[in-house]
Amino acid sequence: MTFPCPACDADVPSPPRAFGRCPACGVVLRARLRGGEGPLRTFDVDAVGRPGARRTVEAPWTESDERSLRAWLSWSTAITLGLVLVLLALARWLR
């Protein structure tokens, strides 16, 4: 996907990221996630060093986002389960 640069309106050929750079004017772009309900996520994209240059960009979830979310979910589930087991073992052992 592309989104328009908040400073110069040129198309930036990538989804919004935490830090990026506009290939046309070279300004540093900083995106912040504002909301993520449904199939689209809303980002506030600021041009660093250009006060007032802000644009709201809606971006679909990318495959790597979904992959990292799935990885994060399975890791956090495993860690939570492991913690519960450790606490159970401790409770039994300390009795």
Name the site residues for Zn ion (rule: CB under 5 A): 5, 7-8, 10, 22, 24-25
> Do 54 and 48 touch, CB atoms closer than 8 A?
no
Q: How far is the CB of 65 from Zn ion (least distance, A)?
A: 24
Q: Considering beta carbons, is residue 5 or 45 the nearer one to Zn ion?
A: 5
- Selection from 58, 57, 49, 59 nearest residue 7 by Cα: 49
Nearer to Zn ion, 39 or 49 (CB): 49
Return the bridge partners of 29, or none.
20, 47
Task: Give least dist CB 54 to Zn ion, A.
Answer: 13
Q: How far is the CB of 22 from Zn ion (least distance, A)?
A: 3
> Contact, 46 vs 87, CB < 8 A?
no
Residue 13 beta carbon to Zn ion: minimum distance, rounded to whole angstroms: 12
Instruction: Please say which residue, 24 or 81, places its beta carbon nearer to Zn ion.
Output: 24
Q: What is the rounded CA–CA span in Å between residue 31 and residue 20?
A: 8
Structure tokens at 11: 């198309």
Beta carbon nearer to Zn ion, 5 or 59 = 5
